[in-house]
């Protein structure tokens, strides 16, 4: 019996490489929460064909359970992929976020695509704050308070400041839009993905350059499909499959 497919949405890969991992993991959170990241390293799928990809949940036709996440290039035909042997790329651990993200490598931690410019639930790196505070559109008194907050964190040997502490100074909806440009120097990308998934009626969300989905297992297997119409060694990968349930 053939699988059923539940459409999630479309995104674009333009960097030729896909990363699959736990959206909870980012450098700032790892440093702040002292997370041993060895088992949380994303899995890379190189040589992906650039272009538009469609994301689907693969659904068991018997019990209706979501079993995996399929990302298929717009030129790929699912019927052809089902007849093709997928190549195993490895496994990823997603025990912290209980979710998985598959994203174009060039858009990993890309906060420019975030809906909100600031989150009180995110961490913001001290070094980046020290560089940016002088340029913020706030009264000098507020900027002095923020500088004092950052220096206090550094005195405590903390690499970042929590957004709720910043929010106590500038408010929850800051007028300065520059926080959206912090990228790897904050955890906004991770926070927004996980918060979106918590209320996503499809159990998945399209993000800039990829897709995120809730997962039903702490360890997921990752597979890739080469273009079945190209038998050459240099054939592009045109699809990726990520298991979402225990094997």
What is the tens place of the pLDDT at every residue in 159-183? 999 999 999 999 866 778 899 999 9
Distance between CA atoms of residues 227 and 24, nearest Å = 31
- What is the pLDDT at residue 22? 96
The pLDDT tens digits for 24-40 are: 999 999 999 999 866 67
Q: Judge whether residue 64 has pLDDT over 60.
A: yes
Q: How confident is the model at residue 1 (pLDDT cuts 50, 70, 90)?
A: low
Burial label for 67, CB within 10 Å (0-12, 13-18, 19+), is middle
* Residue 154: how many other CB atoms lie within 10 Å: 15
Q: Judge whether residue 115 has pLDDT over 70.
A: yes
User: What per-residue string of b and e applies to 166-180 under the rule 16 or more CB within 10 Å gives b?
Assistant: bbebbeeebebeebb
């Amino acid at each position: 019996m053939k699988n059923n497919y539940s459409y999630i949405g479309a995104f674009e890969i333009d960097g030729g490489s896909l990363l699959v991992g736990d959206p909870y993991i980012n450098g700032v959170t790892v440093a702040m929460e002292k997370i041993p990241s060895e088992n949380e390293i994303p899995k890379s799928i190189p040589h992906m064909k650039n272009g538009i990809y469609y994301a689907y949940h693969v659904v068991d036709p018997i019990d209706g359970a979501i079993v995996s996440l399929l990302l298929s290039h717009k030129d790929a035909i699912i019927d052809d992929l089902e007849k093709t042997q997928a190549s195993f790329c490895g496994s990823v651990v997603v025990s912290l976020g209980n979710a998985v993200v598959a994203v174009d490598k060039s858009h990993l931690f890309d906060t420019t695509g975030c809906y909100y410019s600031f989150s009180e639930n995110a961490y913001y790196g001290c070094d980046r704050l020290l560089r940016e505070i002088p340029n913020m559109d706030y009264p000098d008194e507020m900027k002095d308070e923020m500088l004092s907050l950052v220096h206090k964190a550094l005195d405590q040997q903390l690499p970042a400041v929590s957004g709720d502490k910043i929010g106590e100074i500038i408010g929850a909806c800051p007028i300065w839009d520059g926080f959206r440009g912090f990228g790897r120097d904050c955890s906004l990308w991770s926070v927004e993905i996980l918060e979106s998934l918590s209320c996503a009626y499809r159990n998945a969300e399209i993000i800039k350059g990829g897709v995120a989905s809730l997962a039903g297992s702490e360890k997921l297997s990752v597979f890739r499909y080469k273009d079945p119409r190209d038998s050459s060694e240099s054939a592009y990968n045109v699809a990726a499959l990520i298991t979402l349930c225990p094997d």
